[in-house]
Amino acid sequence: MKKHYNTHRGAGVLFIIFSLLFFLLFARFLQLQWTGKADGHVLAAKAEQQHKQTRTIEAKRGTIFDRNGTILAQDVPSYTVVAILDPEMTTDPDHPRHVIDPEKTAKKLAPLLGMDVEDMERILTKKAKQVEFGSYGRNISFELKRKIEALDLPGIAFIRDTARFYPNGTFASHVIGYAQKNGENETVGKMGVEKWLDRYLREKDGYVSFAGDVNGFRLPAAKEHIVKPDNGANVYLTIDGKIQTFLEDAMNSVEKQYRPKKMIAIVADPKTGKILAMATRPSFDPNKRDITNFLNDAISYPYEPGSTMKVFTLAAAVNEGVYNGKETYRSGSYKVGPNTIRDHNDVGWGTITFEEGVQRSSNVAFSILVKEKLGEDRFLQYLHRFRFDQKTGIDLPNEAVGQIRYRYPIERITTGFGQGTSVTPIQQIQAATAIANDGKMMKPYVIEKAVDPDNGKVVLDHEPTVVGEPVTAETARKVRDILETVVTAEHGTGRPYQIDGYGVAGKTGTAQIPSAAGGYLTGRENYIFSFLGMAPADDPRLVMYVAVQQPQLDVTETGAAPVSQIFTTVMKSSLHYLHIEPDEDKQAEPETAGRRALDSLIGQTAIAAAEQLKEKGYVPVVIGNGKYVEQQLPRGGERLLPGERVVLKTDGAATMPDLRGFSLRDAMKVANVLGLRPSTKGTGYVVSQNIRPGAEVRKGDYLIVELAPPRQWEEAAAKKEQEAAEREDDEPHE
């Protein structure tokens, strides 16, 4: 009985304990149900957080195009190389997932990343679970990723990302600029259009969220919440890729030959103000960001322009009716108070007409126009009319403005021929549109429009803008007629700028460079040589400014040599490209322009044709093993400068020549003659080609050439040769 009593007693105690626990749990349940909170946390939110799965939907930064729709900047997949060093990552010894041989891995991987083998080996032997290779291993291309994967190196893996890619390399670099990742892994514009329109180009990622299990799988009947990605707007520039290519190629050639300190060139449509091409040297590759000058000198570099300023002094005099080209004056020197202004040859040319003074670029002639004809106050008004006292407002960052120095009597006179007062190249282009566009001065711009890629809506649109009419249409036409004689007259300083079939109106400039010690630099090369020209002269479709600072000239050369090489090449190619028909009456004198008509060599033996070209100073490029010439480029009748390449295709099997060292233009000649489909990478001079020299080719084959800048192509070519030699050495020999 006692045992039975104890059993019931124990059961009662347990019943009471479990009842209390039950009531406590039930009370807690009621509290949670009633309040929906536990320890201050909302349970519904906590549950949603545990079950909610979120996936990022990547957005894309806006693409930058030229006016023809060619891509200039875009987002592309990129990869970061990582090395896994943690042995615990390997579960199967036969299939290791970490780096097991640092020395072997470094020897194979370092050359592909451009690293030193010893540096890589030190990284691979660190006490860490995972390592990267700094800038060498970041932003690598898909092609390089595949090459690394082919090595089959244990422990080498990749992290996928996106990178900003500039397919043309050094190409309008200061205009396009560049963008790069910041500390929050956002792509941000840092220069040029990338910076100016960053708020339009910038993207915002979207996401999709849904209820899922602990493994991340979506639960049945779970609803999705989608926030669409906001892609950046696509930007279309006024830059014309073809004309920009002409400009880059010409500047590369001059840079290689003359090694100047700076070069600036702008090509614009004077009817609209659109900038069709703009380039400076030194430049950079936006993919590498090898930048030595962070400013775009075409818009950010004010300097004393020299005699190109005379264009606007002349326009003011003509517009005021005080210019008489037949009137004479005494050249040589002109007194302004205690100062004496001299012509560039010091002694002048005796008593000459003002027309001849313009053609000879006489400082005395323009001093008289400002001092005695126009009057200093009236001339100042024209400087304001041409807006030399303010920025153009071009849609690029960091535009500077020159300074009109007009305090002292001597400064007022020297401004008339481009000394003392400073202006920027883009200010000169804007002012020149008034001369080329019958008095209407157009605001320059490089951004055509920005378009939302998701709905096609234009979110930014630029239209041509008239910013002033400093002179009348009649004055503009008269000034163009006078400036055309600067190029065509026997004693005109612009004779090197003649172009076959087109009238060119323009003015040369030789600007002095201020010295840090005071005064100006001396020496025949210490100038900024320039030319401001437009063509066709009777109705200009293009206006172009070129400046070359301190080129290394031969003893027989003048500063016009590098400047004219850029201007005539780009202007002629651009006029042809725009289908502007030449005028047969406008033929440049070959002995003056330095160009001679090429004979037709078709039908001659290849040996005789090549010898004939060499005798005339050209460089023959013979294609094929046939006996007779069946095609040539340039064609017979075209005018060439000595030293240019002439491609001769024989009647035999077509074979590929060695293009290393060729300019892009010369490489395209070969592609044209052979009927190949060309593709290029980079700018400058050819360092490699996909079709080996001597190989037979067929019409329609792809020709891929890699180019490098002038200062790098010799080194790159030598490296390619060394790699080829090493590959040959590695091959077994019989």
For residue range 81-131, list pLDDT tens digits in order: 999 998 888 888 888 999 999 999 999 999 999 999 999 999 999 989 999
The string of pLDDT tens digits covering residues 666-687 is: 888 888 888 888 877 766 678 8
pLDDT at 40 exceeding the cut of 60: no
User: Contact 124/102 with Cβ under 8 angstroms?
Assistant: yes
Cα–Cα distance for residue pair 621/604, rounded to 1 Å: 15
pLDDT at 340 exceeding the cut of 90: yes
Question: Confidence class of residue 660 from pLDDT cuts 50, 70 and 90?
Answer: confident
For residue 160, what are its two tokens? 């996928």
pLDDT at 574 exceeding the cut of 50: yes
Residues of 287-300 as b/e, b for ≥16 C-beta within 10 angstroms?
beeebeeeebbbbb
pLDDT at 1 exceeding the cut of 90: no
Among this protein's residues, is 333 annotated catalytic?
no
Axis-axis angle for helices 310-319, 376-385 (nearest 10): 110
pLDDT at 29 exceeding the cut of 90: no
What is the per-residue pLDDT for 662?
A: 84
The strand pairing partners of 659, in sequence order, are none
What is the per-residue pLDDT for 677?
A: 82
The string of pLDDT tens digits covering residues 225-260 is: 677 788 999 999 999 999 999 999 999 999 999 999
User: Contact 394/299 with Cβ under 8 angstroms?
Assistant: yes
Residue 593 or residue 196, greater confidence: 196
Angle, CA 155 vertex, CA 152 and CA 160 arms, to 5°: 90
Q: Which of 143-152, 637-646, 694-703, 705-714 has the highest mean pLDDT?
A: 143-152
The residue behind tokens 């001849």 is 356
H/E element holding 99?
Answer: none
Give the torsion through C-alpha atoms of 513, 516, 517, 520, to 10 deg. Answer: 0
Cα–Cα distance for residue pair 266/260, rounded to 1 Å: 17
Lowest mean pLDDT across 133-147, 348-362, 559-573:
133-147
Residue 174 or residue 723, greater confidence: 174
Give start and end residues of each alpha helix (H) in 263-375: 297-300, 310-319, 354-359, 363-368
Question: Confidence class of residue 388 from pLDDT cuts 50, 70 and 90?
Answer: very high
The string of pLDDT tens digits covering residues 289-314 is: 989 999 999 999 999 999 999 999 99
The string of pLDDT tens digits covering residues 630-650 is: 888 887 777 676 678 888 888
The strand pairing partners of 161, in sequence order, are 78
What is the per-residue pLDDT for 56?
A: 66
Residue 183 or residue 77, greater confidence: 77
The residue behind tokens 């004010």 is 302
pLDDT at 31 exceeding the cut of 70: no
Q: How many of the other CB atoms lie within 10 Å of CB of 107?
A: 13
Q: Kindly report the length of the chain.
A: 734
Residue 481 or residue 20, greater confidence: 481
pLDDT at 525 exceeding the cut of 50: yes
At residue 652, the 3 state secondary structure works out as: coil
The string of pLDDT tens digits covering residues 602-628 is: 888 888 888 888 877 788 888 888 888
Q: How far is CA 496 from the centre of its chain?
A: 28
pLDDT at 590 exceeding the cut of 50: no
Give the torsion through C-alpha atoms of 599, 604, 610, 611, to 10 deg. Answer: -90
For residue 467, what are its two tokens? 């910013």
H/E element holding 51?
Answer: helix 43-51
Name the catalytic one among 253, 300, 307, 573.
307
The string of pLDDT tens digits covering residues 436-486 is: 999 999 999 999 999 999 899 999 999 999 999 999 999 999 999 999 999
Question: Confidence class of residue 734 from pLDDT cuts 50, 70 and 90?
Answer: very low
Residues of 167-190 as b/e, b for ≥16 C-beta within 10 angstroms?
ebbbbbbbbbbbbbeeeeeebbbb
Q: What is the pTM of this model?
A: 0.72
What is the per-residue pLDDT for 418?
A: 95
Q: How many of the other CB atoms lie within 10 Å of CB of 586?
A: 19
**Closest C-alpha to 543, from 320, 243, 260:** 243
Cα–Cα distance for residue pair 620/643, rounded to 1 Å: 10
Amino acid at 36: G
The answer for 567, left when phi > 0, alpha when psi is -120 to 50, beta otherwise, is alpha
Cα–Cα distance for residue pair 709/265, rounded to 1 Å: 17
* CA-to-CA separations, 437 to 15, 313, 480, in angstroms, rounded: 105, 17, 10
What is the per-residue pLDDT for 722?
A: 58
The three state secondary structure string of 494-526 is CHHHCECCECCEEEEEEEECECCCCCECCCCCC
Q: 285 Cβ partners below 8 Å, 6+ apart?
A: 166, 169, 170, 173, 682, 709
What is the per-residue pLDDT for 125?
A: 92
Question: Confidence class of residue 595 from pLDDT cuts 50, 70 and 90?
Answer: low
H/E element holding 204?
Answer: none
High-pLDDT (> 70) share of the chain, %: 86
Cα–Cα distance for residue pair 632/670, rounded to 1 Å: 10
